[in-house]
Amino acid sequence: MELIQSFSVDHRRIIPGIFLSREDRVLNGAVTTYDIRLKRPNKEPVIDVAAMHSLEHIIATFLRNDPVWKDEVIYWGPMGCLTGFYLILKGDRPPREIYELILSAFRSVNDAEEVPGATAKNCGHYLMHNLEMAKWYAREFAAYLEENADDPKIFEYPKTERLTTNDGQQFYDS
């Protein structure tokens, strides 16, 4: 079975940033999945689950209400490893082109007075939210993005090296 694209990223070397995870061609253009990585995998503590849930609600609401981007947003949701989020947009922009959007989204968390949709009617686990921790993580990531805006490493995935045998078989180091 072929290794899927998201597992070809060398998680030992990835840093927080905004990365292009995959591009898919569709009938009328492209759909792009971005890896919005807040934590270094396997090196930093993961994001608190309740805070992650709150970030998901607040930022999804921000993105789907942004006057410029709302019609481009397909999905915003957490990674299973709790180190970041996936954003799926229509089109095929490089990660640098969504920098301001992501920075604005994380800055907006600090202005939230409540978690949107955190009711039994609107959410599958409405009691599992932590607005104050979500604000802390959002401030931390926004500051990191601002400090590293000119560093190309926050926009480029480190790839897993592939060893190839003489007969063409590939082995992955992860």
On whether the pTM is more than 0.85, the answer is yes
Other beta carbons within 10 angstroms of residue 135's beta carbon come to: 19
Q: What pLDDT score was predicted for residue 94?
A: 96
Q: What pLDDT score was predicted for residue 12?
A: 87
Q: Is the dihedral of CA 143, 149, 151, 153 positive or negative?
A: positive
From the first residue on, what is the mean pLDDT of each consecutive set of 10 residues in the chain (174 residues)?
Answer: 72 93 91 97 96 98 97 97 97 97 98 97 97 98 98 85 60 46
Beta strands 73-78 and 29-37: pairing type?
Answer: unpaired
45's tokens: 């503590």
